[in-house]
Structure 1
Amino acid sequence: MKQQETFLVTGATGYTAGYAIPALLEKGVKVRALVHTIDDRIKKLDQPGVEIVQGDLLDFHSISRAMKGITAVYYIYPILTPGILTGTAYLIQAAREEGVRNIVNMSQISARREAKSNAAQDHWMAERMLDLSGITVTHIRPTFFAEWLIYSDSIKKSNTVVLPFGEGRYAPIAAEDQGRVIASLLVNPEEHAGKIYPLFGPVEYNVHDLANILSEELEREITYQDISIDTYKEEAPKQGYHPHFVQHISSVAQDCRDGLFAGTNTAVKDITGREPVGIREFIRKHLAYFQ
């Protein structure tokens, strides 16, 4: 690998990119960080070896400009926003024109042909488009992020975890583990060409278990408010969530109840050489979000 190689990281102000970027810098490559909006979040990206560019995955010309001189790409399309198939087509064409070597694609564990979630089915189709691109591609399919626990203020404000996941089990995976996986896959494409990696944390829980662990770690009682999927469908739009996102979460909530998000494996350690972060360690690292 040459020192002058530059890797494009999309979604650069997001959770996984926030860990992938320093991991890439440690591996001796430069990073071009693609952001949708120039705001205060870019301050954390302002460091040696990082070039910040503004662009939109649904604007072919801005993606084409961002792709100039790029060796490899971390591609993540925002789950809140419709349009992944158009964005993927634009990314592929821009990457082909610039001779990009490899792409690491953030998919999801629910991505499959028969998915009821429109977003999950589109993620599966985006995988197939990337597979046909002629570019070396590796897909990652994480279960639910550990960061789900800090996405809303319900723990901080009302000591509750409000989710429609029923008794469904999953092994929460931290964004920092995914960031290290992403960096490793980007710089070692031959080893991982064409592979799909489901990614899990070390231990499987249901949300009741997670609430109990939160109670112990935060030294106050946290309860799981297990709402029905129908209640979620009614309440989420009132909080301003896009219909695309509400349809997705409603569908994957059922997937979680049906066991699709369950399981563990050794992929994080196999790829990075490090065990994934456990949920207690995650909570301790992010105490400020819960106080």
Structure 2
Amino acid sequence: MEYQGKVLVTGATGYTASQVIPGLRERGVAVRALVHKIDERSAKLEQLGVEVVQGDLLDFHAVSRALQGIRSVYYIYPILTPGILTGTAYFIQAAREAGVRNVVNMSQISARRDAKSNAAQDHWMAERMLDLSGLEVTHIRPTFFAEWLIYSDSIKAQDKVVLPFGEGRYAPIAAEDQGRVIVSLLLDSAKHASKIYPLFGPVEYKVQELADILSEELGRPIVYDAISIETYQQQAAALGYHPHFIQHISNVAQDCRDGLFAGTNTAVQDITGREPMGIREFIRKNRSYFE
């Protein structure tokens, strides 16, 4: 059945949104993209036939304007930035006023009432706010992205994977697979309303095992530098990261060490009909980031 209406994608130049938008456009769905600034990335979206609007999720009037004429929303609040509860309150009010029908909300696997991470606890609270909004809402809670391996240039520059995850295990999930899930949830919203989907890649690993696979695929030794959480905090502060982000990563690193990120499931295949990408395929598709 052909989708009728327009979809708003927030965080439109991020990893998952950059997969969601082409997926929607391939299906002929009209898309409006909310971006923080107009630049070459937003220009690429316009080339896909996307309507681009500039605004901030902490600006109620900008959010309200962006939601006019919108049926469905992919809502993602940037993890680097404090303020998700205020932004979600603004979003809910503006969405209700605009007659938005359904929302797919990007949360995180560590979102829970008693989370030590402020951001993770706030994501849990934002989920509850959306649940009470009267909107048709589906939450996704991914484990660590496969893209964690390319967030810094340590592999390219030093042949090291530098992470504070200790011996913790997780099943990396690529943004590409999350994008397919999000598109499916947006376009078949009634089937998935009021559900929470943890999202995992196909196989869980220790970071040392990921480093071994990188070594095999790239043809050079890649070392896992298992830094302590305290060392991470010092390095992140020296690089100028926001204290909100440092507090979050420090606590989810401990969550990973404690097994909270472990496990896998069949959600990606169940929702999209296709298995998620394995880590070797991810490395091969993104080889340029490592060389």
Q: Structure 2-normalised TM-score?
A: 0.98
- Does the alignment pair 1:79 with 2:85? no
Residue 49 of structure 1 deviates from its aligned partner by 3.4
Correspondence for 1:89: 89
- Does the alignment pair 1:34 with 2:54? no
Aligned partner letter, 2:179: G
Residue 206 of structure 1 deviates from its aligned partner by 0.6
- Counterparts of 1:242 and 1:156 in 2: how far apart (Å)? 25
1:6-30 alpha-carbon deviations (Å, 9 max, x no partner):
1000000000000011111122211
Give the 5 Å matches for 1:242-253. 242-253=242-253
- Counterparts of 2:46 and 2:27 in 1: how far apart (Å)? 18
RMSD: 1.0
- Counterparts of 2:132 and 2:35 in 1: how far apart (Å)? 27
Residue 122 of structure 1 deviates from its aligned partner by 0.1
Residue 256 of structure 1 deviates from its aligned partner by 0.1
Residue 42 of structure 1 deviates from its aligned partner by 1.6
Contact 2:22 2:48 in 1 (8 A): no
Correspondence for 2:111: 111
- Counterparts of 2:263 and 2:242 in 1: how far apart (Å)? 30
Correspondence for 1:271: 271
Give the 5 Å matches for 1:26-175. 26-175=26-175
The DSSP-based 3-state class of the residue aligned with 1:161 is strand
The DSSP-based 3-state class of the residue aligned with 1:53 is strand
- Counterparts of 1:133 and 1:188 in 2: how far apart (Å)? 20
Q: Structure 1-normalised TM-score?
A: 0.98
Contact 2:3 2:187 in 1 (8 A): no
Correspondence for 1:289: 289
Residue 4 of structure 1 deviates from its aligned partner by 5.1
Aligned partner letter, 1:254: Q
Structure 1 range deviating more: 129-138 or 226-235 = 226-235
- Counterparts of 1:49 and 1:8 in 2: how far apart (Å)? 13
The DSSP-based 3-state class of the residue aligned with 1:15 is coil
Correspondence for 1:256: 256
Correspondence for 2:20: 20
- Counterparts of 2:141 and 2:251 in 1: how far apart (Å)? 17
Residue 285 of structure 1 deviates from its aligned partner by 0.5
- Counterparts of 2:43 and 2:276 in 1: how far apart (Å)? 27
Residue 219 of structure 1 deviates from its aligned partner by 0.4
Structure 1 range deviating more: 266-275 or 33-42 = 33-42
- Counterparts of 2:117 and 2:3 in 1: how far apart (Å)? 42
Unaligned runs of 5+ in 1: none
- Counterparts of 2:119 and 2:92 in 1: how far apart (Å)? 19
Structure 1 range deviating more: 128-137 or 234-243 = 234-243
Correspondence for 1:6: 6
- Counterparts of 1:2 and 1:180 in 2: how far apart (Å)? 17
Residue 230 of structure 1 deviates from its aligned partner by 1.1
- Counterparts of 1:18 and 1:54 in 2: how far apart (Å)? 16
Correspondence for 1:236: 236
- Counterparts of 2:16 and 2:204 in 1: how far apart (Å)? 21
Residue 234 of structure 1 deviates from its aligned partner by 1.4
Aligned partner letter, 2:61: H
The DSSP-based 3-state class of the residue aligned with 2:190 is helix
Correspondence for 1:218: 218
Aligned residues: 291
Unaligned runs of 5+ in 2: none
Aligned partner letter, 1:26: E
1:164-201 alpha-carbon deviations (Å, 9 max, x no partner):
00000000000000001001000111100100000000
- Counterparts of 1:209 and 1:124 in 2: how far apart (Å)? 31
1:116-170 alpha-carbon deviations (Å, 9 max, x no partner):
0000000000000000000000000000000000000100100001000000000
Change (3 A) 1:21 1:215: same
Contact 2:208 2:224 in 1 (8 A): yes
- Counterparts of 1:2 and 1:185 in 2: how far apart (Å)? 15
Aligned partner letter, 1:10: T
- Counterparts of 2:35 and 2:192 in 1: how far apart (Å)? 27
